[in-house]
Chains A and B, each alone.
Chain A
Amino acid sequence: MAVQALHNKAKTGETKRKRVQSPWRLSLQRFMRNRLAVAGFFTLLVIIFVTVAAPLFTPYNPTAINIMNTNLPPSAAHPLGTDGSGYDNLARLLYGGRVDLTVAVAAALMTMLIGVIYGGISGFFGGWIDNLMMRFVDVMLNFPFIPFILALEAIFNTSGELILITVVSLTAWPGPARFMRGIFLQLREQDYVLGAVTIGASKWRIIFRHMLPNTISSLAVLVSMSVAGYVGLDAGLTFLGLGLPLTVPSWGGMLSQASNYIDMRTEPYSWIPPALMIILTILSVNFIGDGLRDAFDPQART
């Protein structure tokens, strides 16, 4: 991912010195000054809120079929119409974020946790440890996604969110890990790390205490990029015949159900809302990521 994009040193704006504040407070202040990031933050909050509190906004159960009311156009009772099972589209839109956001959060968490630890160890120690660990990453990067899903489906005799989350968790981390390793490789040569090594600081202390804080800005972008890749993932999978079952409401599922010429043309109410939700979520996360990067950039002077 875009490590280099993160070291954006050219900063504009005021450079007036203020009295000394804690770095966290400074970062927060810088973040709050970035309007796009703040807007993104609140948009994401709203999206999460309506998703979690979906029952407050719709009387319908998103998994209750209604055989007498299938494929209805929008009306007062169903503002976004109903789909082929008689599910209320609005209810599915509101509840649908749960799956997409969970998958994205799982991917983001794994990216952060394993990415940092794995990449950190590999990059810091170098040598044969690095070599071995990176060969394992090579293997994981080539992990056969489709047979893995089909095999899991068969072993657990199920499909759906759990399989999706398992697969994503197991396959999301190698790219980020390799990326973080690159960053640690660079940081390892920095004077302050060499200094810490010289005075005999423990290796773990150097990694987590000295190097890690300097990777936060890169990490922020990494996480926002990975969220972008995983929201709506199930839509792509549905195209390959590996998606979630219909009973599980999801934005990706709604989108792929309606993504053919006829429905795109005649039923914009069924696909534009989920598409918008996916795009808004990714946009918000990206703006937040940009804001965090700038806020935590150690070279920033404000």
Chain B
Amino acid sequence: MQKKTTIFSAAAVVTLSALLAGCGGGTNSGSGLGQAVSATPVNGGTIVQDFPTSFGLNFIPYLSTSYYTLQAWALQFDSLLQFNQNDQLIGDLADKWTVSPDKKTYTFYLNPNAKWSDGTPITSKDVQLGVDWLLSKSYNVTDGGSYGYILSNVVGVPSSGYLPDGQTPSGFKIINSHEFSITVQHADAAVLTADLAGIVPLPYSVLGKIPMSQWKGSPFDKKPWLGSGQFIMTSLVPGQSITQKANPYYVFGKPHIEYNVWKVISPDVVDGDLASGQVTISSIHATDAAKMRQIPNVSVNIEPTNGFDYLGWRLNNSEYGDIFSRVRFRQAVEYALNRPAMIKALFDGYGVVENGPLPPINFWYNQALNGTYPYDPAKANQLLDALGMKIKNGWRTLPNGQPFTPTLTISSGDANIQRQADFVQYYLKQVHIDLKILPPINFNTILNQLNNDANGKQPIQGFLLAWSLSNDPDPRGLWRATDTMNTTSIDWTNTKDPAIQENDKLIHEQHTRQAFDQQYRISILNQWQQLLNQQMPENFLFDQDTVTAYNKNLHGVVFSPYGALFEYKWWLSPSS
């Protein structure tokens, strides 16, 4: 029923996209996606959304590491810019922006309607406070904040990544109360979408008076009473609920819904709560979509997801020589898996196969990857034969004749991941690979084993995990040989490998100054996708759809691969 996958496999992946996509309104909304029921929205009502586990209790933007806390504060604090349902950057608190000819200075113009929830206008001073906060020593060191990277490229930011509390980097300049500019050190095609768009103005009238070292734990942090977003917190019950009320001064107009309530609800009962109307909207497991549709007062929406599941191999694991680092081995695995059948069985058909590092719904996806790696066990066998892996007693051996029984590590608590593993084992058996599924272990244990792999024990060979991607396709952070997420997952880091050199080179080129030309960036990213498609550094599996069930009384929801957007447009019809 529940999407435990999100909890266990991509648990910690708090990407900026979740923030930018989840909040804010826009000028060009998805009008076509609205309901056809009644045309005029009705004001008032309460909607209830769920968190599967408890949330953190620090609500100053970017402070908490809890994904659920982020969802709550992102409704209360808008950022400078946002993404719409087509992954396009659109205005939010800033309604216009320009780039200098050298592609280093960005000038932003605040929206004249941008106001705090007490009616006072949002000014450049508030933006400056938000910038100072992300760069402060208190935030980055004392409070262990992890979003300082948003401004790391700005002129005046030292390599340590932080400044003394309250000091503004020289790259940030206030032009007047509603105009300011940010200058970066290196022209970077991704810096606006991946970083600067996420700057969140903070209320100078409240926080400007408090030293940043005292922000954490202050009354405003525990229950912020002012905001720039759609809903403002009115009450909070630790461990169980957050209640937010419509902001009458919201930049795109007061939301129709009066109250938005987040509740912590056990995933085992959410489906029943949807049926009884105690929960208004929640994501459910794909295999339950058909059953949920039968419930009279529930509608179901299905959207592709900007992310994918993969089967990874620790490429530098030497248990079986260098077999995992052989491209043909991984290609053979890709041909051996009947991924359409797996999608049918695991997600009731709600998903698409994934052949590269970007999902097919992504704007930057390379269409040339379509149809590569069909289910072809004969081809898989050919590739394995070519590697010299002979079949002995029904099972393939290593080229040197030794037995080959690779292991697969999976996390416990998620029935769907265990099923994926069973199906992978089944298909590898058809090409005579004797995959052994290790008993499921706790997700933290897997992280630990991936992290401590270098000590010679190398407990992990194969594993199943998922990536959730941000709006910008920038592969930095994930795919370069030096990126932590690479070294602590597949470990595709052997820089003597020409393919890896090529990978790092393409990743560099896609964000250089030249890449401000979209056509150029597309061509580089296409080459990069081709490279990964051919190399298969990990066995890309599929992109499972996000299935959302919601009450039939709820209208105007803008569903997209990046979440259900523009909550201020949602409305509730009086219950029939």
- Chain A interfacial positions (CB closer than 8 Å to B): 65, 67-68, 70-71, 84-86, 150, 153-154, 157-160, 239, 241-243, 245-247, 257, 259-263, 265-266
B: contact size bracket: 20 to 34
A67 pairs with B1, CB closer than 8 A: no
A261 pairs with B269, CB closer than 8 A: yes
B423 pairs with A245, CB closer than 8 A: no
Highest count of chain A CB atoms <10 Å: which of B294, B416, B418, B422: B422
B422 pairs with A247, CB closer than 8 A: yes
A261 pairs with B439, CB closer than 8 A: no
* B441 touches A (CB below 8 Å): yes
Q: Please, which residue of chain A has its CB at the minimum distance from the CB of B266?
A: A239
* B210 touches A (CB below 8 Å): no
A153, B459: Cα distance in complex, Å:
13
B438 CB contacts on chain A under 8 angstroms? 157-158
A157, B449: Cα distance in complex, Å:
11
Given contacts A65-B422, A247-B422, 16 further A-B contacts (CB under 8 A): A67-B338, A71-B287, A85-B422, A153-B439, A157-B439, A157-B441, A159-B439, A239-B268, A241-B442, A245-B412, A246-B415, A260-B269, A261-B272, A262-B271, A262-B291, A266-B291
Q: Please, which residue of chain A has its CB at the minimum distance from the CB of B7?
A: A241
A246 CB contacts on chain B under 8 angstroms? 415, 418-419, 422
Given A67-B345, A242-B412: A158 in contact with B423 (beta carbons within 8 A): no
A241 pairs with B291, CB closer than 8 A: no
A78, B416: Cα distance in complex, Å:
22
B271 pairs with A261, CB closer than 8 A: yes
Interface string of B403-422 (1 = CB under 8 A from A): 00000000011011011001
Residues of B257-290 whose CB lies within 8 A of A: 268-269, 271-272, 275, 287-288
Rank and list the top 8 A-B pairs by shortest CB-CB distance, nearest first: A261-B272, A241-B413, A159-B439, A246-B418, A260-B1, A261-B271, A158-B439, A70-B345
A260 CB contacts on chain B under 8 angstroms? 1-2, 268-269, 271-272
Q: Please, which residue of chain A has its CB at the minimum distance from the CB of B411?
A: A241
A86 pairs with B268, CB closer than 8 A: no
- Among candidates A153, A239, A266, residue contacting B442 with C-beta atoms closer than 8 Å: A153
Q: State the main secondary structure of chain A at its contact with B.
A: loop
A247 pairs with B437, CB closer than 8 A: yes
B272 pairs with A245, CB closer than 8 A: no
Q: Please, which residue of chain A has its CB at the minimum distance from the CB of B441?
A: A153
A265 CB contacts on chain B under 8 angstroms? 291
* B341 touches A (CB below 8 Å): yes
B418 CB contacts on chain A under 8 angstroms? 245-247
A245, B441: Cα distance in complex, Å:
9
* B426 touches A (CB below 8 Å): yes
- Among candidates B269, B412, B437, residue contacting A241 with C-beta atoms closer than 8 Å: B412
- Among candidates B341, B413, B419, residue contacting A85 with C-beta atoms closer than 8 Å: B419
B423 CB contacts on chain A under 8 angstroms? 65, 67
Given A260-B1, A261-B272, A262-B1: A68 in contact with B439 (beta carbons within 8 A): no
Given A159-B412, A260-B268, A260-B272: A84 in contact with B287 (beta carbons within 8 A): yes
* B38 touches A (CB below 8 Å): no
A67 pairs with B412, CB closer than 8 A: no
* B292 touches A (CB below 8 Å): yes
A266, B293: Cα distance in complex, Å:
12
B419 pairs with A153, CB closer than 8 A: no
A245 pairs with B440, CB closer than 8 A: yes
B287 CB contacts on chain A under 8 angstroms? 71, 84
A263 pairs with B1, CB closer than 8 A: yes
Q: Please, which residue of chain B has its CB at the minimum distance from the CB of A153?
A: B441
CB distance from A168 to the nearest CB of B (A): 17
* B342 touches A (CB below 8 Å): yes
B1 CB contacts on chain A under 8 angstroms? 260-263
A158 CB contacts on chain B under 8 angstroms? 438-439
B268 pairs with A259, CB closer than 8 A: yes
A154 CB contacts on chain B under 8 angstroms? 441-442, 445
A157, B457: Cα distance in complex, Å:
12
A65 CB contacts on chain B under 8 angstroms? 419, 422-423, 426
CB distance from B183 to the nearest CB of A (A): 48
